[in-house]
Amino acid sequence: MPLANPRSVCIHALRRWEEGTLFADDILHEAMANNQFALLDRAFLTEIFYGVLRNLSRLDFLIKQLREGPLDDFTRQVLRLGLYQIFQMRIPHHAAVNETVNLAKQARGLVNALLRRSIRENETLRYRLDAAPVSIRVSHPDHLIRRWQTHFGEGQANRLCEWNNTPAEVFVRANGLKVSPGELLRTSPDSEPHPAHPGVIRVKYIPYQWIVSGLCYVQDPSTLIACELLAPQPGERVLDACAAPGGKTSYMAQLMEDRGEIVACDASGRRLDRLNENLKRLGVTNVRPMTIDWLRDRTPLGSFDRILVDAPCSNTGVIRRRIDVRWRLTSGEFQALQEKQLAILKKIVPFLKKGGTLVYSTCSIEPDENERVVERACAEIPGLRFVESKQSLPFRDAIDGAFAAKFEL
C-alpha cells in the first residue's frame, strides 16, 4: 500500500465529520486504519485534523474576512486546512500554500489567491481576530460560554476555553495488578509522576512494552475519583453499570486485588468487546461483562455491595480530549441528559443491598448533570441518602473535569 498524503486524508476526514454523526475520534481512528502513513505523517494528520476542529470559529472568521461569496464544502475544508497551517503551525508559509493548493482541484486558483492574501495581510487579520467576539477568539459556541460564565464567572470560563484548546497530555495509570508506578518510572526516564495521583504517570510517549504487557492503562487522574469514592473491597460483589471501555472497571479490579466479582454492563456489545480486550491485556479476571440497556432491559442480576453508575453525559469536562463535543452539544440537551441520568439511577438502585454504597459519576462540569441530579435522586428515590461528592475542574485542578457523588441505602 503506498503511503497516504496526510493533508488529503485530513480533508476527507473533515468532510465526513461535518456531513455525518460520527465522532472525530472514530473518524481519525478509521483513517489511520485504512491508510498507511510514515510515523511523522501520522502525528501530522492528528495535529491538523484535531487542530482544525479546535479552531473552527477562528478559521471560518478568517475565511469570511478573505472571501464574502459562497463556498462549497470541499473548498471550505481546504481553506480551513491551509489557514490552520499558516496561523497556528510553525510551517513555512510557502510549503503550507503549495501543499494545500495541490489538493484544491478545480478551486486551485481561488485557494492559492486567498491563502497568499492571508499571508500578505497576516498582521491585520490577527488584529481582527483579537477584536472579534469571544466565541470566535476561543472557538466555542456562544451557549456554552454563557453557561460557563454563569456557573464559574467570566475569568474561569475563559480559562476553561483555553484549557480545551490545548492539546491534551498523555497520562497512564500503572496497573497495580502487575507493576508499581515506581517500577514503570525506572524504565522510562522521560516520564514523571502526576502530582494529582500517585498511581498516574505523565508520559511523552508510551513505551511499547508497557502496552503489550498490560503494565498500564491510558487514563486521566480525574477518572479515578469515582472509583476511590466507591472504595470497592476484595471479595465484594460490585456492579459497574456503564462500564465500557473499562478504565474504571479495571481500576476497581485493582482496588479489589482481582478478588470478588465485578459485573460490567454496557448497552453496546461492540464497546464491551473493547472492554474485554482491555481487561485481558491488563490481566483482570474478576469481571463478568453483560450487555444491558438500563432503560429497556429487565435483567435479574441479584444484589450488590457497591454500584458505580458512570452515567452517559455531555462530556463537557473532557472537551480537551473529545474536541468536537463543543460543536455537537445544543443548549437543550442538558435537561434531557438530566432526565436520562435520573431514569438510569432509578432503574439501578433496586440492585443495591441495604447498607450498600452507590456512586453516581459523570465527566461533565454542568450542575444540571451533577448537583441537580443528586438533589432529585434524594427527593425521588426512597431510602437513598447522599453522603458526599467530589469534583475536579480543569481551570482549578489542571486535570479533566469530573464529578462523583456517594450515596448509601
- Specify the 3-state DSSP secondary structure of 3: strand
- Cα 116 from chain centroid (whole Å): 35
pLDDT band at 269 (very low <50, low <70, confident <90, very high): confident
Per residue in 318-342, pLDDT (tens digit) is: 999 999 999 999 988 999 999 999 9
Would the pTM count as exceeding 0.85? yes
Average model confidence (pLDDT) across the chain? 95
Instruction: Tell me: do 126 and 240 sit in the same domain.
Output: no
Q: Which helix (DSSP H) or strand (DSSP E) does residue 63 occupy?
A: helix 56-66
Mean pLDDT of the 288-299 span: 90
> For residues 337 and 268, is the Cβ–Cβ distance under 8 A?
no
Q: Who's near 175: CB < 8 A, 6+ residues apart? A: 214, 215, 216, 217, 250, 254, 282, 283
Given 89, 111, 136, the domain boundary residue is 136
Instruction: Tell me: do 266 and 385 sit in the same domain.
Output: yes
DSSP line for 248-291? HHHHHHHHTTT-SEEEEEES-HHHHHHHHHHHHHHT--SEEEEE
Q: Of residues 207 and 307, which shows the higher confidence score? A: 307
Residue 273 belongs to a domain? yes
Domain extent at residue 38: 6-136
CATH number, position 77: 1.10.940.10
Residue 184 belongs to a domain? no
Q: Which helix (DSSP H) or strand (DSSP E) does residue 381 occupy?
A: none
> For residues 305 and 255, is the Cβ–Cβ distance under 8 A?
no
pLDDT band at 270 (very low <50, low <70, confident <90, very high): confident
Task: Identify the pLDDT of residue 299.
Answer: 80
Mean pLDDT of the 99-122 span: 95
Per residue in 48-82, pLDDT (tens digit) is: 999 999 999 999 999 999 998 889 999 999 999 99
Instruction: Tell me: do 132 and 232 sit in the same domain.
Output: no
Residue 156 belongs to a domain? no
Cell of 262: 465485578
CATH number, position 303: 3.40.50.150
DSSP line for 154-222? HHHHHHHHHHHTSPPPEEEEE-TTT--HHHHHHT-TT-EEETTEEEEEEESS--HHHHHTT-EEE--GG
Instruction: Report the share of the chain in percent with pLDDT over 70.
Output: 100
Instruction: Tell me: do 267 and 131 sit in the same domain.
Output: no
Question: Rounded to whole angstroms, what are the CA distances from 26 to 1, 30, 71, 139, 279?
Answer: 22, 6, 27, 22, 21
| Set 10, 227, 313, 363: catalytic member | 363
Instruction: Tell me: do 255 and 364 sit in the same domain.
Output: yes
Residue 167 belongs to a domain? no
**Nearest partner of 12 among 3, 1, 32, 2, judged by Cα:** 32
Residue 175 belongs to a domain? no
Residue 208 belongs to a domain? no
Instruction: Tell me: do 114 and 246 sit in the same domain.
Output: no
Task: Identify the pLDDT of residue 189.
Answer: 83
pLDDT band at 271 (very low <50, low <70, confident <90, very high): confident
Task: Identify the pLDDT of residue 285.
Answer: 96
Task: Identify the pLDDT of residue 374.
Answer: 98
Question: Rounded to whole angstroms, what are the CA distances from 169 to 55, 201, 204, 393?
Answer: 19, 11, 8, 16
Residue 143 belongs to a domain? no
- Catalytic, 363? Answer yes
Given 136, 162, 182, the domain boundary residue is 136
Domain count, the chain: 2
Task: Identify the pLDDT of residue 268.
Answer: 83
Task: Identify the pLDDT of residue 205.
Answer: 86
Report the half-sphere exposure of 179 (CA within 13 A, side-chain side): 22
For residue 1, pLDDT beyond 80: no
Q: Of residues 208 and 14, which shows the higher confidence score? A: 14
For residue 297, pLDDT beyond 90: no
Locus of grid cell 448537583 = 371
Task: Identify the pLDDT of residue 68.
Answer: 86
**Nearest partner of 404 among 326, 319, 309, judged by Cα:** 309
Question: Rounded to whole angstroms, what are the CA distances from 50 to 15, 46, 104, 241?
Answer: 13, 6, 20, 31
Given 86, 120, 136, the domain boundary residue is 136
Per residue in 330-373, pLDDT (tens digit) is: 988 999 999 999 999 999 999 999 999 999 999 999 999 999 99
Residue 176 belongs to a domain? no
| Strands of the 170-174 sheet, one edge to the other | 192-194, 197-203, 170-174, 216-218
Instruction: Tell me: do 404 and 257 sit in the same domain.
Output: yes
